[in-house]
Amino acid sequence: MQPTGAALSSRPPSPALFQPADLFDLSLPISKMAAMAMATDDAKRAALRSQIATRTRQQELLGHTAETVNSTLLNAVQQHIHKALRQLGLADVLAFDIGGDSEAGLKVIYLLERGSGEEWRAMGRFLRMAFIYRLTPADATRPLRLSAD
Helical packing angle, 42-53 and 30-37, nearest 10°: 130
Looking at residue 51, the DSSP 8-state letter turns out to be H
Give the C-alpha separation, 16 to 11, whole Å. Answer: 15
Q: How far is CA 45 from CA 10, 37, 50, 55, 114, in A?
A: 52, 5, 9, 17, 18
Contact (CB, 8 A) for 42 and 36: no
Global pTM exceeds 0.75? no
3-class DSSP assignment, residue 77: helix
Give the C-alpha separation, 99 to 81, whole Å. Answer: 13
What confidence tens digit (pLDDT) does each residue in 16-75 have? Answer: 555 555 544 454 578 888 888 888 989 888 888 887 777 777 777 777 777 887 888 888
What confidence tens digit (pLDDT) does each residue in 110-138 have? Answer: 999 888 888 999 999 999 999 999 888 88
Give the C-alpha separation, 105 to 125, whole Å. Answer: 24
